[in-house]
Chain A
Amino acid sequence: MKYYFLKRIFLVIPTLIGITFISFLLLKALPGDPAQGLAGERTSPETIERLRQELGTDKPILFQYTGYMKLLLKGELGRSYYTNRSIADDIKEKLPNTLRLAVGAMIFSVITGLLLGILMALDPGSIWDRIGQVLSVSGISIPVFFLGLLLIYLFSFIFQIFPPSGMGNGSILFLIMPAATLGLNSSAYLARITRSSLIEILSQPYITTAKAKGVTKSGIIIRHALKNAFIPIITLIGLDFGSYLNGSVLTETIFGWDGIGRYAVEGIFKRDYPVILGCVLVGAVLFILVNLIVDLLYGFIDPRIRHRTKA
């Protein structure tokens, strides 16, 4: 068990190095001097000179990369061109908001996705199943930003139930629409995977046994079938965290949510390169860490997985 966890954690290191290397290449590819790029235009010449020395811009590229890594390890992501604030501090400030939105989206997608999936699996081929299939393909196909605008139009302007944008000091009313927007896509995927794994499991002999014993239909679904469908479902929930990071860029912009997604978009509009690259890097690292956590969870849930790697 320990072996599995250690091995999985160890495997993350090369990926993290690769990611920082790609973000370093992107930084190098920016127009102008990377030291200038990291420091911003309003910085004093001494700071730029110090950064240039730390980055070693006159030295070979691998040397420069180690300099960049040293900066990263110190938690230094550079400064914004415009506000001259530390990007690492900005991200630290905005990350909790993004996480709150992501958790909201996850709760929304798990509840709606599981319910729709179970409803579809109960009677494959029925009218509910077909409606569910159309709903889930539409949910996968609708662009996040369009869905957000539709919800604002319907629920803020026509029915006037929810506020169109902002965070409202943490009021749940402000969270509902952004969370639904961000979560709908993965809710649709979740419904599909729940449906297909449930249908497969429901044809297993042990389900027949349970039926013969006289277990009720809801008992079979909840206690016998769902438990075994959890592995693909949890994989999906974990992987979807990455799509939340993608989606949060658009969702936060539309709903005026003060998280790192909107921060990145403001960076794009202002061509504030260090901000954009900082967000890309932090996003990728978060994504990898979440995937790592999901993998470790597998080990807890399914003993076959943690023992397989030993052999």
Chain B
Amino acid sequence: MSLSRKTKKSRAFYYSLTVILLFVLVALFAPVIAPYDPLAINLDHIKEAPNTKHLLGTDTIGRDVLSRIIYGTRVSLFVGISATVLSLGLGLIVGLIAGYYEGKIDMFFTMIIDLFLAFPSLLLAIGISVILPPGLISVTFVLCLVGWASFARLFRGMVLSFKENTFVDSARAIGCSNLRIMFIHILPHCLPVSLIAASLKVGSFILSESALSFLGLGVQPPTPTWGAMVSLNRCYLPSAPWMVLFPGLAIALAVIAFNFFGDASRDMLGQDIKI
């Protein structure tokens, strides 16, 4: 890879990082940034096209679309990031145990991992969602349950190869416990890959969250979510496209940023992984 291409890659890295940080700031300071209350109904200004007072227009009951998108950032980012952290943690632990111990323990965990990977993910998420009371915690839990297995498979494979290294033998020779070898010696080697896998996963979780919201299985109204904004206003697409286009673009932009970030950091670290 030539130098100019490398800098281009790192440029993609910084651009996507900037966009992600912007989204995080918007989520954190939503009450300060949002020009209107996202729930405030104003029946004098319904279905207004984007104008100077309402930059992205208003919806069918006069709520400001921009403010609702800004507040919707909170749900998408919270679910995307916390589900990723939780499923990454679970996947790491299961992957470490399965890869380290081999034998029957490995077979048992591999069976469970394969089982979870055998379901089409959105279908499984729907199946679990319908039996839980809808809400922020449920969505996060469901996505974590659907997503941990791919992390576990990734880390199991990595641990299997790390274990052959001499540093593991030396650690054992000086009397380190299994737990110590697993978490102090092997785990740090998995961390760079975790970062890449995690940022790719945040994007896919944001997509799944928006799909669940679209189907009415996500965080419930009146809390604004991007997916529900697209879903509830979709019949107004011909007459008032701004109510649907802008929340949809918000989802796409957030997911693109995380995917680019994951790709760019993978290229920079020279790791070849798939999740």
Q: Which of B214, B234, B252 contacts A138 (CB 8 A)?
A: B252
Interfacial chain A residues near B214, Cβ < 8 Å: 143, 145, 250
Q: Report whether A146 and B230 are in contact in the complex, using a CB–CB cutoff of 8 Å.
A: yes
Q: Is B137 engaged at the interface, CB distance under 8 Å to the other chain?
A: no
Q: Is the CB of A250 within 8 A of B211?
A: yes
Q: Which residues of B contact A254 (CB under 8 A)?
A: 234
Residues in chain B near residue A131, CB distance under 8 A = none
Cβ contact within 8 Å between B114 and A273: no
A-B residue pairs, 5 tightest by C-beta: A146-B248, A246-B122, A141-B255, A280-B127, A18-B115
B231 within 8 A of A: yes
Q: Fill in one digit per residue for A14-32: 1 if any B CB lies within 8 Å of its CB, else 0.
A: 1100110011001001110
Q: Are A283 and B252 neighbours in the complex by a CB distance under 8 Å? A: no
Most interface-central of A26, A29, A31, A140 (chain B CB within 10 A): A140
Nearest CB of A to B39, in Å: 23
Give residues 134-150 of A contacting B (CB, 8 Å): 137-138, 140-146, 149-150
Q: In the assembled complex, how far is the CB of residue B7 from the closest CB belonging to chain A, in whole angstroms?
A: 13
Does B194 sit at the interface, judged by CB under 8 A? Answer: no
Contacts A249-B215, A271-B130, A273-B130 given: A143-B207 contact, CB under 8 Å? yes
Contact of B211 among A14, A143, A283, A284 (CB under 8 A): A143
If A143-B252, A245-B123 are given as contacts, then 20 extra A-B residue pairs at C-beta distance below 8 Å, sorted by A number, are: A26-B127, A143-B207, A143-B211, A143-B255, A145-B211, A145-B227, A149-B230, A150-B245, A153-B245, A246-B120, A246-B123, A249-B123, A249-B126, A249-B211, A250-B211, A250-B215, A273-B130, A277-B127, A283-B120, A284-B118
Interface residues of A in 80-106 (CB under 8 A from B): none
Q: Count chain B residues whose beta carbon lies closer than 8 angstroms to a beta carbon of A.
A: 42
B124 within 8 A of A: yes
Interface residue? A63 (CB, 8 A): no
The stretch among B82-90, B161-169, B256-264 that forms the contact with chain A is B256-264
A290 to B203, CA, bound (A): 26
Knowing A250-B211, A268-B217, A271-B130, the reply to whether A142 touches B115 (Cβ < 8 A) is no
Q: Are A30 and B215 in contact (CB under 8 A)?
A: no
* Nearest CB of B to A13, in Å: 12
Q: What is the minimal beta-carbon distance from B262 to any residue of chain A, in angstroms?
A: 10
- Given the complex, which residues of B lie within 8 Å of A146, measured CB to CB? 230, 244, 248, 251-252
A110 at the interface (CB under 8 A from B): no
A125 close to B (CB within 8 Å): yes
A141 to B203, CA, bound (A): 7
Q: How near does chain B come to A281, taking the closest CB pair, in angstroms?
A: 8
**In the complex, per-residue mask of B113-136: 1 if CB is within 8 Å of any chain A CB, else 0:** 011001111111011101100000
Q: Which B residues touch A264, using CB under 8 A?
A: 123, 126
Q: Which of A141, A150, A265, A287 contacts B215 (CB 8 A)?
A: A265
Interface membership of B53, Cβ < 8 A: no
Q: What's the A-B contact tally at a CB cutoff of 8 Å?
A: 128
Q: Across the interface, do A19 and B231 meet the contact criterion of CB distance under 8 Å?
A: no
Instruction: For B112, give the chain A residue with the smallest CB separation.
Output: A18
Name 11 A/B residue pairs within 8 A (Cβ), A-sorted: A19-B118, A26-B128, A140-B255, A149-B234, A153-B237, A153-B245, A249-B123, A264-B123, A265-B215, A280-B124, A287-B120
B207, closest chain A residue (CB) = A143
Report B178-216 CB contacts with A as 1/0, cut-off 8 Å.
000000000000000000000000010001001100111
Q: Give the residues in chain A near B259, CB-CB below 8 Å.
A: 137, 140-141
Contact present for A276 and B126 (CB under 8 Å): yes
For the complex formed, measure the closest distance between the CB of A34 and the CB atoms of chain B, giving whole angstroms: 12
- Does A242 touch B at the CB level, under 8 Å? yes
Contacts of A245 in B (CB 8 A): 120, 123
User: Which B residues are in CB contact (< 8 Å) with A284?
Assistant: 118-120, 123-124
Q: Is B175 an interface residue (CB 8 A)?
A: no
The interface residues of chain A lying within 8 Å CB-to-CB of B130 are 268, 271, 273, 276
Q: Which residue of chain A lies nearest to B210 when distances are taken between CB atoms in the complex?
A: A143
Assuming the contacts A18-B115, A23-B127, A29-B131, asked whether A243 and B120 have C-beta atoms less than 8 A apart, the reply is: yes
Task: List the B side residues contacting A287 at CB < 8 Å.
Answer: 118-120
Residue of B nearest to A144 (CB): B211
Return B77 CB to nearest CB of chain A, in Å. 15
Closest to B125 in A: A246
Asked whether A39 is an interface residue with its Cβ less than 8 Å from the other chain, the reply is no
Q: Give a binary string over B245-273; 1 marks a CB under 8 Å from any A CB, 0 the rest.
A: 10010011001100110010000000000
Contact B126 A268 (CB under 8 A): yes
Q: Which of B123, B230, B255 contacts A145 (CB 8 A)?
A: B230
A149-B244 in contact given A144-B211, A268-B215, A287-B120 (Cβ < 8 Å): yes
Chain B residues with CB under 8 A of A141:
203, 207, 252, 255-256, 259
Q: Does B43 contact A (CB under 8 A)?
A: no
Q: Which residues of chain B (101-121) have a CB below 8 Å from chain A? A: 111, 114-115, 118-121
Tell me which of B119, B128, B263 has the highest count of chain A C-beta atoms within 10 A of its own C-beta: B119
A149/B252 in contact, CB under 8 A:
no
Q: Is A206 an interface residue (CB 8 A)?
A: no
Instruction: Mark interface residues in A237-254 (1 if CB within 8 Å of B CB, else 0).
Output: 000001101110110011
